Structure 1
Amino acid sequence: MDWVARTAQLRQWTRSGTRAPHKPLLFLYALSRFQQDADDELRYSTVEEDLRGLLSEYGPGNRTTPAYPFHHLVSDGVWEVRTDRGPGSPGTGVRELRATGAAGRLAPELRVALRREPSLLGRMARVLLDLNFPPSLHGELCEAVGLELEEAETGRLPAARRQRDRRMRETVLTAYEYRCAFCGYDGRIGAVPVGLEAAHVRWWAFDGPDDVENGLCLCSLHHKLFDKGVLGLGEGTGNGPPSEGTGEDPAEGHRILVSQSFVGHSTAARQGVITLAGRPLIGPQPGVRPVAAAHRAWHTSQVFHGSPRPAATT
C-alpha cells in the first residue's frame, strides 16, 4: 500500500479555499506519538487538551472540537478507535468519547509498515506539512507535536534517543507572561498568543535541556536573530530601568547584546534591533529562575557573532 499517497489524499471538507486541517493535525500528532512510543495508545480524554490547543493555534478561526477528527480520521484507513465496549468510534460527541474511554492509534497495517520502514514516518509527516501549512510554520508545528522531523526522514531510531518535552513552549511562555524578553511584544488573536516562541539558549541539538532555565520567550523576529547570533545575552548590573513600554523589571544580571557585525540603516532595523544594545532583559515572573549562566555562556561562545555594540544612547 502507498501510505504516502494515502496521506496526501485525506478526505477533508473543502469549498472555495476553506481550510480544514483537523485531520492533518491529529495525524501529525499521532505520528509523533508513534515516533516516541510505537505501542502508545491515545486515550481521547488524555490528549483532548493537546489537540484542542493545536486546533486553536493552527486551525481556522471558527470554533471546532478535537472530537471531529478523532472520529472521522478512521474513514481514511490510517487510524482506528476503540472504546470500553470494543472496536469502533462512538461518534463525534465529546461526551461519548470521554464516557466510553475512547482511544485511538494508527491503523495496524500502518504501524507494521512504519516499523518495517522507519523513514516512511518522515515522508508522511512532510506531506502533511507541505500540503496543509506554509513552510514558516513547519518547525514550530513539529515542536508543538513533539516530532523530530529530520530523524524521522532519515529513519534513524537510536535506542536511547532523547525526547523533546512538548510542554516546554507553554512553560517558557507562561514564565515570561507571554511577552518577548527582548522587546516586550505580546500579540494575541483572542486568547491565543501569536508570533511568540520558546527559544532554546543552548540549542537542543547540542545538549540544551527543555527547561525554563534554558529558555526565553521571544517574538519570531528576535528568535531568528538570536539563533543567527545577531542578538545575545550578556551580564549586567540588573538595576537598569524596565524596557520602555513593558512595565516589567529587568532580569537580574542579564542585558541584551547586539553584534557589531549587524548592519541596518532603516528605521525598523534601528528601532527593532540596534536600540536593544545594552538594554536589560525582561525577566521571567517572580519565583521563576532566569537563564542559567552556563547556557548563556554557551550561546555567547558558540552562536553570538563578534563583539557586542556599545549600549544604545537615547
Structure 2
Amino acid sequence: MDWLERIAKLRQWTRSGARAPHKPLLLLYALGRFQDDADGSLRYTAVEQDLQRLLTEYGPPNKTTPAYPFHHLVSDGVWEVRTDRGSASPGSGIRDLRETGATGQLAPDLRAALRREPDLLGRMARLLLDLHFPPSLHRELCEADSLELELAEAEQLSAIRRQRDRRMRELVLTAYEYRCAFCGYDGRIAAMPVGLEAAHVRWWAFGGPDDIENGLCLCSLHHVLFDKGVLGLGDDQRILVSQRFVGHSPAARDHVIALAGRPLIGPQPGARPVAAVHYDWHARQVFHGEPRPATA
C-alpha cells in the first residue's frame, strides 16, 4: 500500500480554492503523538482543546470544530475511532464524541508500516506540510504538533506534488527592489540580502502560481504574519491589519498595528502588482476577522 499516495489524496471539502486543512492538522497531531507513544490512542475529550487551537490558529477564518476531522478521517483508511462500548465512531457531533468516550488512533496497518519503515513518518509529515501549508509555517507547525523532523532534508516526491519554480524568489525580490513591501526593511550582509523572502499571496499549496503577480517581497516577520492572517492586502493595494491582533508593546504597535491602511512599498515601475484574484483569495481563506481602520 502506498501510504504517501493515500495521504496526498485525503478526501476534503473543496470549492473555489477554499482551504479545508482539518484532516491534515489532525494527522500531523497524531503523527507527533505517535512519535512519543506508538501504542497510545487519543481520547477526544483529552485532545479536543489542542485540536481546536490548531484549527483556530492554522485553519481558515470561518468557525470550525475538531469533531469533524476526528470522525470523517476514518473514511480515508488512515484513522480509526472507537468508543467505550467498542463500537465505531458515533458521528461527527461534539456531544456524541464526548459522551461515548470516543478515542482515535492511526489505522493498524498504518501503525505497522510506520514501525517497519522508520523514515515513513517524516515523509508523510513533510508531504502534509507541503500540500496544505506555506513553508513559513512548517517549523512552527512541527513545534505545535511536537513533531521531530529535519525539514531541510530533500525529498523525492515529485510524482505526488508539483515542483516550485526556483526563479520565483529572485524575480519577486527584484521587482520590489529588495525591500519589504510592508515596512521597507532592506538588510544585507555585504551584497547578500538577509531576512527577506518571496511570499506567495495565494498559497502555492492551493494553486498559487510562481510569478510576480502572486508574490510579495516581505521581511521574515511580516511574511509569517501575512501567512497567519494577521496581515492582508486590500483592493487599493493597501495593507490590512486584523482587529483580532493584540499587541501593547511599542514594537507591536510600530511594526504591526501602524501598518493599517499604508500603501505597499513597490513594486518598481514596470513590474506587475499583485493580481486581485490572488489577494481576494488571501482575504477569504487566510486573513482573520475584520481589518483595523487606517492609522493616522
Partner of residue 120, structure 1: 120
Aligned residues: 168
Alpha-carbon offset, residue 87 of structure 1: 3.4
The residue type paired with residue 74 of structure 1 is: V
Structure 2 segments unaligned to the other structure (5+ residues): 155-218, 225-245, 256-296
Q: Could you say which residue in structure 2 is the equivalent of 1:143? A: 143
Partner of 2:48 in structure 1?
Answer: 48
SS in 2 for 1:146: coil
Paired position in structure 1 for 2:98: 98
Relative contact order higher in (CA < 8 Å, ≥ 6 apart) = 2
Contact 2:126/2:151 (8 A) holds in 1:
no
Question: How far apart, CA to CA, are the structure 2 residues paired with 1:152 and 1:106?
Answer: 26
Q: List gaps (5 residues or longer) in structure 1.
A: 155-218, 225-245, 250-271, 274-314
In the other structure, the counterpart of 2:34 is: 34
Partner of residue 65, structure 1: 65
SS at 2:136 equivalent: helix
Alpha-carbon displacement from aligned partner over 1:79-113 (angstroms, at most 9, x marks no partner): 00000111310001111101100000000000000
CA deviation profile, 1:206-243 (whole Å, cap 9, x unmatched): xxxxxxxxxxxxx9639x9xxxxxxxxxxxxxxxxxxx
Amino acid in the other structure paired with 1:121: L
Equivalent residue number for residue 76 of structure 1: 76
Q: Which runs of 4+ in 1 moved over 6 A?
A: 151-154, 246-249
Q: Percent sequence identity over matched residues?
A: 75
Matched, 1:129 2:129: yes
Distance 2:134 2:72 in 1: 24
Q: For 1:80, what is the secondary structure of its paired residue?
A: strand
Determine the C-alpha separation between the residues in 2 that align with 1:50 and 1:139.
17
Is the 1:118–1:152 contact (alpha carbons within 8 Å) kept by the matching residues of 2?
no
Q: CA RMSD in A?
A: 3.0
C-alpha spacing 1:25/1:247, structure 2 compared with 1 (3 Å): closer
Change (3 A) 1:248 1:96: closer
Superimposed CA distance per residue, residues 62-84 of structure 1 (whole angstroms, 9 cap, x where no aligned partner):
11100000000000000000001
Cα separation, 1, equivalents of 2:54 and 2:108? 25
Within a 5 Å distance, the mapping from 1:1-314 to structure 2 comes to 1-150=1-150, 221=221
Q: Distance in 2 between matches of 1:55 and 1:90?
A: 22
Q: Summarize deviations over 1:108-147 as a string: whole Å, max 9, x none.
A: 0000000000100000001100000000000111111110
Work out the CA distance in 1 between the residues paired with 2:121 and 2:110: 10
Asked whether the equivalents of residues 139 and 151 of structure 2 are also in contact (C-alpha less than 8 Å), the reply is no
